[in-house]
Amino acid sequence: MPAEINIGSAEQRHSGAERRSGRDRRKGLRSIFSRYRLAGQRAHPRRKADRQKAYFLDRHSYRTFLVILAIFLLSIIDAVLTLHLISRGAAEINPVMAYFLKRGPSVFFIAKYLLTTFSMIVILNYGNNFLFRTRLRVKILFLAALVPFILVVLWEIYLCLTFK
């Protein structure tokens, strides 16, 4: 006959839940400019159930940092090569960047940098949310930015070598 184990009353077992405020701090919206972005401790969700939902992180992986850094570098290289090709008679086919290019090379460069930076901040902030109610996370957009930048820079290098 197995011995009975007294695990206490339901009130004693759930006394920890009674000490909670009842408000789930993870459900609230957080600002992109939250003070915890640089000094927070949450690097990944602790519970398996939390990984199945959208979640926010305070710290991100080095791989994410390297992808963002690569995107920034490719964006700067793209801007420099575009300005070089424009000086040799090429035309900017992106209407948004053509608008800024008409305002001058420095305005073009600053606009390109700011648009890239803003996009990366938004993707980084919401990277662990789901994309358009699918099972894909928003952070897949980092690859959606990285691959075209690589292709554009390679194309511009080819044009620089052949366009005279």
Query: What is residue 20's predicted lDDT score, i.e. its pLDDT?
Result: 62
Residues of the chain with pLDDT under 50: 55
Structure confidence at residue 21 (pLDDT): 67
pLDDT value of position 1: 53
10 Å Cβ neighbour count for 104? 10
pLDDT of residue 77: 95
Residue by residue, DSSP assigns 126-151 as: TTTSBSTTSSSBTTHHHHHHHHHHHH
- Which residues contact residue 136 at a Cβ distance below 8 angstroms, ignoring those fewer than 6 apart? 130
Distance CA 94, CA 67 (A): 24
pLDDT at site 19: 61
DSSP-derived secondary structure for 8-65: --HHHHTHHHHTS-S--TTSS---TT-THHHH---SS-SSHHHHTS----SS--HHHH
Distance CA 133, CA 16 (A): 35
The whole-number pLDDT of residue 70 equals 93
Spans of all domains in the chain:
62-164
Distant-in-sequence, close-in-space partners of 26: CB < 8 Å, separation ≥ 6: 50, 55, 56
**What's residue 124's pLDDT?**
77
- Nearest Cα neighbor of 108 from 134, 137, 87 is 87
